[in-house]
Chain A
Amino acid sequence: MTVQPRLAGETGSWRASARSWYASGDALPFLLLAPSIVLMLAVIAYPMLTGFMYGFSTGTLLKPGKFVGLDNYLRLLQSPDFLHALWFSLLFAIFNVIGCYVLGLALALLMNQDVPFRGFFRVALLLPWIVPSIVSIVSWRWMMADQHALFNQIIGAFGGSPIYFLSDQNWAIAAVIVIKIWRSFPFMMLSLLAALQGIDRSLYEAAALDGASRWNQLRYVTMPQLRNISIVLCLLMTIWTVNDFDTPWLLTQGGPANATENLVLLAYRYTFGRNDVGLGSAVSFITLIILMALVVVMLRRQRER
């Protein structure tokens, strides 16, 4: 008899304090964010910490190994495969970002003019971006698969000798980059077009009054206005390219002779091919560090300006 009211009183006060917390207004943002925070902890934070630990140990997908300190990282630094993957990731990112930015900007400038059926073109030029990676690779592979494929028939018609796009190392690298540019430029075009349409018209009118040519308007009005969005877009594209698995894997599986193997493919091969979780985790952790360093440097520079 004496216990029950006290307990009820306790739950009551717990409820009351919960209610007052909720009423204070601090609770709602927390509750709104709670589901996504839980998911991010489980799918991003937990693997990030475990992956970090795995990087310092041996072990396979089936059973954990023992702690080996910096051994995996030291092995990587001496491994030609790793250095090549690092180099290819860099090359892949630089060429793709430059390629898809230039192409995207050119098309955005073209589409920002008064063209009939502009809406149609805006949709039609986005197709390479929205088709599934597997579909784009199947369609491109057919055009460059062997000496009888379309590209080689065209080269043959002009009297050239066939090019083995997928079995020659340099051509395979070029092919992966070209296809990646093809898959990425629509995003650049779309975002830059939106930015172009947001530029204040009066700036152009003022420039025209001062007698600026079209080129000078582009150079001194358009480009400075696009600066910030361009930096953000190129940063995003760099991240996406470094993290790209689909394009090189589906086209060449990293071959020939690992020529088109980037860091992600290497981590995948070490982990799921060689069953070496330690090495695979070390490679993917290095990838994360590189990307984070890039983002921090870029954002800091942007804030300073």
Chain B
Amino acid sequence: MAYPATSTARRWSLFWLLVAITLVVNLPIILMVMNSFQTTEQLVSRTSILPHDLTLANYRYLNDRTSFWQFLWNSFTVSGVSTVTSAAIAALAGYALSRFRGRLVTGYSRALFVVQMFPIILALIPLFILFRTLGLINSPLSVIILYTVVHLPFATWMARAFFDTIPRELEDAALVDGCSRFGAFVRIVLPLSGPGLAAIGIFSFLFSYNEFFVANVFLKDQSTMTLPVGITMFMQQYSTDWGSLMAAATLTVVPTFILFLGIQKWITYGAVSGGVKG
């Protein structure tokens, strides 16, 4: 894989270089986690970078005095539902892109590109007006619908890339045995692409869980806010209470990290294949 004749010394100097780069690059995140165990007074008066006298005060404050858990629950609901809907829809569309040719499929591929570059603000203005008359402002449904569409290009390209790796001969065999085309998809292709669909699902979940802009427009009521919107509220209300803010941010990334570890080996799949194949 790599350049053939690399000496041990060179390998380890590269290693230490990368350790340094990784630390510098992740410094904001590392400091945030460390600072979440310091009270705001400690943070302000502290002179060294490293923390001392660790405390859980911020976490206790989040638990007792704020609606953090409510925000987290809202985030999970919105992300969970939009993950299921977008994965299901993208699996169907991805299969069409993988197995069929024709004007419809080509046109659809182009439409996906338009969705990919669409400035979402342009959709938000008319949809805000429409959703207001439908009573969908402050409803998780509004956000779920938008997330499902926003994920569509990425999820579809990824699904297509997975289906491309499954040999057509398997379906042909099923067709010979009297299975319908759709039956072959459901009985043969889908079960084989389990890991792929799981990866698509986790991706969609991460996107929804991290998303701020759409949620910020539609979710104005505390009881429906997702975490990113909820935290901006903390930011405005207690702009100088860095301790609690850091604790909230740290708790927010815990699910992100866990899910990310689950998909990290799949990550290049959709990211690159979608862009290149089109």
Contacts and interface: CB of A to CB of B under 8 A. Distances in A.
Interface of A: 25, 28-33, 35-37, 39-40, 42-44, 46-48, 50-51, 54, 61, 107, 110-117, 121-128, 130-136, 138-140, 142-143, 148, 150, 153, 182, 187, 190-191, 193-195, 197, 204, 228-229, 232-233, 236, 239, 242-243, 245-246, 249-250, 263-264, 267-268, 271-272, 277, 280-281, 284-285, 287-288, 291-292, 295
Contacts of B170: none
Contact of B93 (A32, A113, A135, A291): A32
Interface string B22-33: 100110110110
Interface string B114-127: 11111111111111
Contact of A250 (B206, B232, B261): B232
A182 B242 contact: no
Contacts of A31: 182
Interface of B: 1-3, 6, 11-12, 14-15, 17-18, 21-22, 25-26, 28-29, 31-32, 35, 44, 47, 49, 89-90, 92-93, 95-96, 100, 102, 104-105, 108, 111, 113-129, 132, 145-146, 148-149, 152, 156, 181-182, 206, 209-210, 212-213, 217, 227-228, 231-232, 235, 242, 245-246, 248-249, 252-253, 256-257, 260-261, 264, 267-268, 271-272, 275-276
Given A29-B96, A153-B47, 11 more contacts: A37-B108, A44-B149, A126-B267, A132-B212, A135-B253, A139-B29, A194-B272, A236-B116, A243-B117, A272-B128, A280-B121
Closest 9 CB pairs of A and B: A114-B2, A132-B210, A139-B28, A139-B32, A284-B122, A32-B96, A50-B126, A47-B123, A29-B100
Identify the interface centre among A37, A47, A264: most chain B CB within 10 Å of its CB. Answer: A47
Contact of B26 (A32, A110, A124, A263): A124
Contacts of A44: 111, 114-115, 118, 123, 149
A35 B231 CA distance: 34
B35 A33 contact: no
A191 B271 contact: yes
Contacts, number: 260
Contacts of B260: 123, 126, 130
Nearest to A277: B125
Contacts of B6: 113-114
Contact of B14 (A40, A115, A182): A115
A228 B277 CA distance: 11
B210 A133 contact: yes
A284 to B, nearest CB: 4
Contacts of B92: 32-33, 35-36
A272 B115 CA distance: 23
Contacts of A30: 104
A43 B145 contact: yes
Contact of A190 (B17, B32, B118, B271): B271
Nearest to B260: A130
Contacts of A287: 119, 121-122
Given A125-B22, A239-B116, A131 B31 contact: no
B117 A239 contact: yes
Contact of A136 (B28, B35, B47, B96): B28
B11 A114 contact: yes
A41 B276 CA distance: 25
A195 B21 CA distance: 22
Nearest to B5: A114
Contacts of A272: 128, 217
B105 to A, nearest CB: 6
Contacts of B132: 61
A114 B5 CA distance: 10
Contacts of A121: 18, 22
